């Protein structure tokens, strides 16, 4: 029988939340702009001098036939030499992901990661859906247009970016159609193309859940468009309580630095699940420590793997690799201390790598 730690390295992953990759060539500035949540480095510095930057040089360089810790210039030169398609194929192929759940709601031309291995399923970004249908008719008809679009959708899940647009301190009550129509009217009159109204945010969430679609929430850190204190998952508690009778899963994405809070919510609410998302690669060599903190309270059957990788294939590769390394380190400590048996460790690995996602999203 394989050892538990060997199984961590060989079990195919289901990445339950990610984005596509860029198919074109990137110069250094364009590469660094997509490496972290910061668009540019401070003057005179480099975004390679970050935890994720060092991780790229350590773990991605060998996949491109370079020595570990190759310089940034050598890495980018080799990347350009191979070309984007070959780089994407190598890095995504080496991640060992069998299913990608892809949020394609970001602007720009991104290639689905399944073009380079595995298969993909669609995650519907709710705010983007609202932005597409709001101009198709009257404000009074907006609620029904959203419902029709949701019923036509073949997505396996929906995603809310309320954390970015209005914050997570949402009124838990399901809004009436009249409230929604008034909010849609205000939005149309404003001339803004962005869905950023708390009434509309909770309407979209309720409608998706009532149709049995698991709903993912961005939680925790992101780019500078986010007010971090309004992205604390504890703010969702009243809404989580209100939608619990529906029995449809709610997924808390990323969560850092609120990963312990997310673990608590996943423990006390039967329909709530959690992950670490982009924090896994964002913290680099600290991934095992952050994963250990995230797993302090969350039931192992309610923690899922995701990368939230976007634009760079390196982030797909690092998300998977650092998750596997982190999980191995956490399990090794528990096995050494006697906290787990080998059978326990095997079961945890299979649940978190893909079994939990397969169940939550009814894959296959």
Tell me what pLDDT residue 183 has: 98
Distances (CA, A) of 26 to 13, 146, 311: 28, 38, 11
Query: Is 92:8 a contact under the CB 8 Å cutoff?
Result: no
pLDDT at 109: 85
Give the pLDDT of residue 39.
86
Instruction: For residues 298 and 32, give the distance between their C-alpha atoms in angstroms, rounded to a whole number.
Output: 34
Give the residue carrying structure tokens 């730690």.
5
The Cα 277–Cα 110 span in angstroms is 19
The pLDDT tens digits along the chain (364 residues) read 567 688 899 999 999 999 999 999 999 999 999 999 988 899 989 999 999 999 999 999 999 999 999 999 999 999 999 999 999 999 999 999 999 999 988 877 899 999 999 999 999 999 999 999 999 999 999 999 999 999 999 999 999 999 999 999 999 999 999 999 999 999 999 989 999 999 999 999 999 999 999 999 999 999 989 999 999 999 999 999 999 999 999 999 999 999 999 999 999 999 999 999 999 999 999 999 999 999 999 999 999 999 999 999 999 999 999 999 999 999 999 999 999 999 999 999 999 999 999 999 999 8
| Exposed e or buried b per residue across 105-141, where buried means at least 16 C-beta atoms within 10 angstroms of its C-beta | beeeebbbbbebbbebbbbbbbbbbbbebbeeeebee
233 phi/psi in degrees, rounded to 5: -65, -20
In the prediction, which pLDDT does 2 show?
A: 65
């Amino acid at each position: 029988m394989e050892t538990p730690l060997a199984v961590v390295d060989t079990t195919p992953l289901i990445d339950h939340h990610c984005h596509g990759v860029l198919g074109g060539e990137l110069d250094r500035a364009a590469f660094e702009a997509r490496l972290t949540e910061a668009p540019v480095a401070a003057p005179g510095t480099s975004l390679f001098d970050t935890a994720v930057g060092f991780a790229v040089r350590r773990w991605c360089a060998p996949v491109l036939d370079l020595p570990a810790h190759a310089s940034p210039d050598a890495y980018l030169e080799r990347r350009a030499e191979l070309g984007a398609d070959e780089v994407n194929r190598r890095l995504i192929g080496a991640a060992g992901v069998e299913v990608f759940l892809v949020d394609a709601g970001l602007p720009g031309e991104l290639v689905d990661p399944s073009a380079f291995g595995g298969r993909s399923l669609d995650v519907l970004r709710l705010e983007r859906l609202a932005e597409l249908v709001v101009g198709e008719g009257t404000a009074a008809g907006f609620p029904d247009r959203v419902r029709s679009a949701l019923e036509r959708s073949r997505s396996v899940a929906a995603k809310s970016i309320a954390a970015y647009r209005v914050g997570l301190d949402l009124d838990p009550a399901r809004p009436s159609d009249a409230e929604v129509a008034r909010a849609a009217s205000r939005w149309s009159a404003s001339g803004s193309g962005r869905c950023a109204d708390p009434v509309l945010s909770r309407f979209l969430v309720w409608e998706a859940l009532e149709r049995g679609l698991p709903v993912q929430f961005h939680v925790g850190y992101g780019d500078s468009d986010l007010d971090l204190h309004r992205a604390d998952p504890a703010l969702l508690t009243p809404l989580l309580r209100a939608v619990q009778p529906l029995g449809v899963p709610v997924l808390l994405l990323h969560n850092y630095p609120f990963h312990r809070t997310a673990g608590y919510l996943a423990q006390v609410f039967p329909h709530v699940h959690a992950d670490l998302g982009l924090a896994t690669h964002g913290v680099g060599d600290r991934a095992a420590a952050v994963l250990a903190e995230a797993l302090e309270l969350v039931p192992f059957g309610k923690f899922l793997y995701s990368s939230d990788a976007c634009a760079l294939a390196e982030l797909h590769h690092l998300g998977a690799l650092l998750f596997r390394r982190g999980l191995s380190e956490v399990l090794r400590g528990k096995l050494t201390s006697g906290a787990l048996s080998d059978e326990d460790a095997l079961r945890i690995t299979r649940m978190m790598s893909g079994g939990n996602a397969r169940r939550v999203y009814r894959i296959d």
